[in-house]
Amino acid sequence: MLAGVSVDYDVRLEQGRERRPSAQVLDAVAATLQLTADERTYLFALAGMALSVRGASAPDRVDPALRQLMDALPDNPALVHNGANDVLAANEIADALFDGWSFSRNLLEIVFGDPAARGFYPDRAQVAANAVAGFRLHHGSHPDDPRTCAVLDGLLASSPEFRRLWTAHDTRGKALERKRLHHPQVGPLTLTMQTFDVRSAPGQHLVVYHAEQGTDSMAALRLLGSLAATRRR
């Protein structure tokens, strides 16, 4: 009633007998449900209206200039991942922060499969919920991407927690976020995480972590960088 859609039309939508609602109907439904911008984007993608973001997923190759930029940030862990959450590139301190990706180079698989993740993420429940919500946003735009489907199928089969969060249908993109971590070598860290779209490779995301100047977390990051450099030498 609030969206100005008839009961009969709404029933056809819910039963899948109407698969091409107009943009006007989608706008009305989004406004009535008070969807966020990310949820609205996801709704349009599901309805086949966001054609510009559908299709092939981002390439796995990371621009060499971007790699050089990441390597020029010795005190800032930086990584690039695709929509399936596969880490495609990382600088030295990011490798040290995530302990060389010994369990997996997929961030979702680490959160839901690595036993060490429960100690690494003190706020793991929140981290898990945010990770699934971001993954759902990507999946809505690339439902046929083989790698995305493989990660989804694997986690649905292996993790009851992931299945529960997936069925909640929360959808939101990544933004400025503060994370608490506990590294086995340098101890607790509170880092700000910023995520940027890689314009030269749509679908890739650059994630950069930093600590506030003069804090214990900054000292811990510098110690971590020194340990990584020593190990490399």
Place 58 in a pLDDT band, splitting at 50, 70 and 90.
low
Indicate whether 219 and 116 sit together in one domain.
Answer: yes
- In the 3-class helix/strand/coil scheme, how is 16-79 assigned residue by residue? CCCCCCCHHHHHHHHHHCCCCHHHHHHHHHHCCCCHHHCCCCCCCCCCHHHHHHHHCCCCCCEE
Indicate whether 75 and 140 sit together in one domain.
Answer: yes
Indicate whether 139 and 207 sit together in one domain.
Answer: yes
Indicate whether 117 and 43 sit together in one domain.
Answer: no
Residue 197 maps to a domain: yes
Residues 65-107 pLDDT 10s: 999 999 999 999 999 999 999 999 999 999 999 988 999 999 9
Report whether pLDDT(52) > 50. no
pLDDT recorded at residue 169:
92
| 160-to-53, 104, 132, 154, 187 alpha-carbon distances in Å | 30, 19, 13, 11, 30
Q: How many domains does the chain have?
A: 2
Residue 2 maps to a domain: no
Strand partners, 81: 87, 205
Tell which wins on pLDDT, 73 or 48.
73
d(CA 130, CA 81): 16
Residues 135-149 pLDDT 10s: 998 898 888 889 999
Residues 164-201 pLDDT 10s: 999 999 998 876 689 999 999 999 999 999 999 998 88
Indicate whether 137 and 26 sit together in one domain.
Answer: no
Report whether pLDDT(55) > 60. no
Indicate whether 135 and 199 sit together in one domain.
Answer: yes
Range of the domain at 13: 7-53
**CATH code of the domain containing 207:** 3.30.450.180
Residue 204 maps to a domain: yes
Report the predicted TM-score, pTM, of the whole model to 2 decimal places: 0.79
Residue 43 maps to a domain: yes
pLDDT recorded at residue 53:
44
Report whether pLDDT(54) > 50. no
Residue 58 maps to a domain: no
Residue 59 maps to a domain: no
Residues 1-39 pLDDT 10s: 888 889 998 898 889 888 888 888 888 888 899 988 788
